[in-house]
Structure 1
Amino acid sequence: MRIATSTIYSQTIENMGNQQTLLAQLEQQASTNVRVATPGDDPLGAAQAVQLSATGSVLAQFSANQNTATSMLKTEDSTLSSVSTALQSVLTQLNALGAGDLNDSNRQAAAQALQGLRSQLMSLANTTDGQGNYIFSGFQGGTPPFSNASNGGVTYNGDLGTRTLQISSTTSVATADNGASVFLSVLPGISQPVAAGASTNTGTGVIGAVSITTPGATTNNTPYSIVFSNDPTTGDLVYQVNDTSTTPPTAIGTPQPFTAGQAIDLNGGESVTLTGTPAAGDSFTVTPAAQGNTDIFQTIDSVIAALQNPAQSNPAAMATIENAINAAHTQVDNTMTNVATVQAAVAGREQLTTAMASVNSKQTLQNTSNLSDITQADPATVLSQLTQIEAMLNATEKTFASVTQGGGLFGMINL
């Protein structure tokens, strides 16, 4: 088969053109270190690069969310530690008030100290993050969660929402707890019932902490009252235990004679001990923690109000103060348990976020490496290909010059 000279010329020139184009591409790769600059350089590689770039953007967003979540959780964790410290200081003040040689001036000073601690707690409850958002206000980040109520305690101005952030394709993490769950709640299963004396009592009876005699008893979740009276026959002081979950209250057993310091059984699951001498008409209550006052600010306000009442040389007034202190002690203990539980959950979320950040970092590194393998040129490979193409082009040019018998521009190559 004969091939026309013009065809040989055309094919050779086309071949040299292709080699020159490839040479230019390799020179461009050598200078920029980029192998896939346009889809035309490698259509399949370009498609893969687009997917990897999208994955990289998602991973970058997860990384930003992880950093934000970590910062917010650390802020809450630190704040809750300060809350626990303040509550411990409240307990220290209450414990000191048990000394028998304190006078009204001592109690006034203690009330002022407690007021300072309450203000500190209020400030902590209204803590903001670095962006000016209140961490305990639920979804209402721009609203201070707590304000003082006119009748004592606080008003919660936030909501019950829980802010979250997506920290991986399958994982979201809560970045803050709403204030109601921290400062206005207790844990029903592990909190102690609160024993309290009525503020109208005229005797010297002081009720102690509740003792759980039968753990897990259903009756432990029942509110009770202990009402004192004089036996109509003997005139002796007796008490009646009532189940106050019903209306009217249901009497538990019959009136029993009172002996100071002797345990009073509350329907088989709990018991309490009273010291002093109650008066006929006096009453005491035992309330499951979650059914009574769970506002820690109201608790502190109540004991402050009790301490501000004069009680010097007045045993009945002193008994009222002691009952208020004892009730407050239990309530503060319950709040501290709740805060510790919330803080433990925050620490767990911090650990989760840190773990996901580590995974995300490895995925980002692998994704970047894969993208680099596709789009970046290998200097050694480029140099080798560049040398090879230059040699091939030079050989093609010399061969073509020989075929054209040294005529024209290509004939000068052999000179």
Structure 2
Amino acid sequence: MRVSSVTMYEQSISSMNRQQNDFLKVSQQIASGRRVVNPSDDPQAASRAVGVDQARAVTQQFADSRVSARNSLAQTESVLNSIGDAITSAKTLMVQASSDTLSDADRESVASELRGIYETVIGQANATDGNGRHLFGGYQDSTEPFVRKTVGDETFIEYVGDDKGREQRIDASRKMKVAESGLSIFDSVPSGAGYVAEAGAGNGGGITFSGPQVIDADLASQGVAYSVAINESGDVTVTDGNGDTVTSDVVKKDGVTRVEFGGLALELKGEPGADGDDTIAVNPADQGNTNLFESFEKALAVLENPAETGAKKAALRNTLNTVMREFDNSLDNVLTKRASVGARLNELDVVDSVGGNRMLNYEQTLSDLVDLDYAEAIGDYSLRQVGLQASQKAFADMKGMSLFNYL
């Protein structure tokens, strides 16, 4: 076979180009730190790397979502702590205002302090997170959930938010409530809150009550509403929500009338009015007033008005007793919600730990697929460099191999 000079030249060029291409490829790998610079370098590894990289990106999105959820829950926990402290302070004022040694002026001073706490609670109820969203508006978090309204001479706080807690996905298989509905915080009581007694609005006598106390948990757990009526002769009648008379035991001793009914006990003092029966409503906590703001309004109404007559003094004491029980239920509810928020914060830590481990696994897998082994690459780089130099030397020598040089 005849080998022409052209053939030798083309083969030398081809060999040198191939060596240059291999040398360039190793150079790109070392410069980028990746074994797979182009999908053609390792199609199977490149394909798997795309899937792993997408999964890693999704995991990172969930991690960012958990940061947002943690900020919202931490802010909620802080606000609930402040609300709990405010309710505790309000209850302390109720105990102070119940003292018989206080004058009307003293009670007005207590009312002024209580109103300050009330305004603080309203402000906390309309608190926002770091992104300007209201914490207790549910999904309607762009506007204040609690607004002050006036109808006639009556001023009250109305909830205009959503009745659902806002949820956020923190992992592929977990959605977490990151914001509470205002109704669940400020217009609710915990399960097992018991009974709350409240004097009738039309009472004209001086009957005051304390309690109710639970003396039979099984009977009291039935959730029946009762009405206790005391006529001008001091006779006591207990009826249920249907108006049916309920069997009761009445014991009078040392000016105190103890009435036992439906697993409950209520103690009464004072004289009933002459114009009609004085009544005491005894309702399960969730069937009576559950609104924290209304409890503040009731307390302020009696503290800011002079208690001159026996009926007004009785109304003052009864209202304060009722409000103190309602404050207790509201505080228990706030503490329950705060504990729930704390549990979710702890869960976020667990999910963060799992997500962090998952991210490390993705990073390791991605590294195994596309990252460069520098020791191997540097050895390959040196070998390719020698090969390129050899091909260049062979090409240079081949150019001098011509018969015309010997003529």
Fold shared, TM-score > 0.5 on shorter chain:
yes
Distance 1:253 1:167 in 2: 55
Distance 1:110 1:40, change over 3 A: same
How many matched pairs? 395
Identify which range, 289-298 or 38-47, moves more after superposition: 38-47
1:143 is displaced (CA, Å) by 1.6
Deviations 1:317-362 (A, max 9, x none): 2111000000000001000011111111111111111221222223
Counterpart of 2:258 in structure 1 is 263
Report percent identity of matched pairs: 28
For the residue of structure 1 that corresponds to 2:35, the secondary structure is coil
Change in Cα spacing, 1:386 to 1:257, as seen in structure 2 (3 Å) is: closer
Give 1:375's aligned residue: 370
Which of 332, 338, 345 is residue 343 of structure 1 equivalent to?
338
Provide the rounded CA distance (Å) in 2 between the counterparts of 1:346 and 1:92: 26
Q: Flag the 1:121–1:176 CA change in 2: closer, same or farther, 3 A.
A: same
Comparing 74-83 with 271-280, greater Cα deviation is found at 271-280
Letter in 1 for 2:236: Y
Q: Which residue of 2 aligns with 1:165?
A: 168
**What residue ranges of structure 1 are gaps of 5+ in the alignment?**
231-235
User: 3-state SS of the aligned residue for 1:59?
Assistant: helix
- Counterpart in the other structure of 2:223: 221
**Contact preservation (8 Å) 1:302, 1:324:** yes
Deviations 1:288-333 (A, max 9, x none): 1000111111111011111222224x33321110000000000010
> Once the 2 structures are TM-superposed, how far is the Cα of residue 366 of structure 1 from its aligned partner?
2.9
1:190 equivalent to 2:217? Answer: no
Q: Which residue of 1 aligns with 2:296?
A: 300
How many Å apart are 1:113 and its aligned residue?
A: 1.3
**Structure 1 residue 275 displacement after superposition:** 2.0
Distance 1:161 1:317 in 2: 41
1:70-103 CA deviation, whole Å, 9 max, x = no partner? 0000110000000001000100100111222111
Superposition map of 1:135-150 within 5 A? 135-150=135-150
CA distance, structure 2, for counterparts of residue 405 and residue 176 of structure 1: 81
Matched with 2:306 is 310
Would the aligned equivalents of 2:198 and 2:280 in 1 still touch at CA under 8 Å?
Answer: yes
Q: Does 1:252 align with 2:255?
A: no
Q: Structure 2 matches for 1:97-136, cutoff 5 A?
A: 97-136=97-136
Unpaired runs of at least 5, structure 2? none
**What TM-score, normalized by structure 1, do the two folds share?**
0.88
Kindly indicate whether the alpha-carbon contact (under 8 Å) linking 1:238 and 1:257 is maintained by their aligned counterparts in 2. Answer: no
Does residue 290 (structure 1) correspond to residue 286 (structure 2)? The answer is: yes
Deviation at 1:369, TM superposition (A): 3.2
User: Are the structure 2 counterparts of residues 257 and 68 from structure 1 closer, same or farther at C-alpha, using a change threshold of 3 Å?
Assistant: closer
What is the match of residue 323 of structure 1? 318
Alignment correspondent of 1:90: 90
Cα RMSD of the aligned pairs, angstroms, is 2.5
- 1:8, CA displacement in angstroms? 8.7
* Structure 1 position 406, deviation (Å): 5.4
On the 8 A contact 2:234/2:271 being kept in 1, the answer is no
CA distance in 2, matches of 1:4, 1:350: 83
* CA pair 4-99 structure 1, distance change in 2 beyond 3 A: farther
State which of 236, 240, 248 in structure 2 corresponds to 1:239. Answer: 236
CA contact (8 A) 1:299 1:328 kept: yes
Q: Does the CA-based 8 Å contact 1:173-1:353 persist in structure 2?
A: no
Residue 380 (structure 1) shift: 1.6
Letter in 2 for 1:51: G
1:79 alignment counterpart? 79
2 CA distance for matches of 1:258 and 1:398? 123
8 A Cα contact 1:238 1:255, kept in partner = no
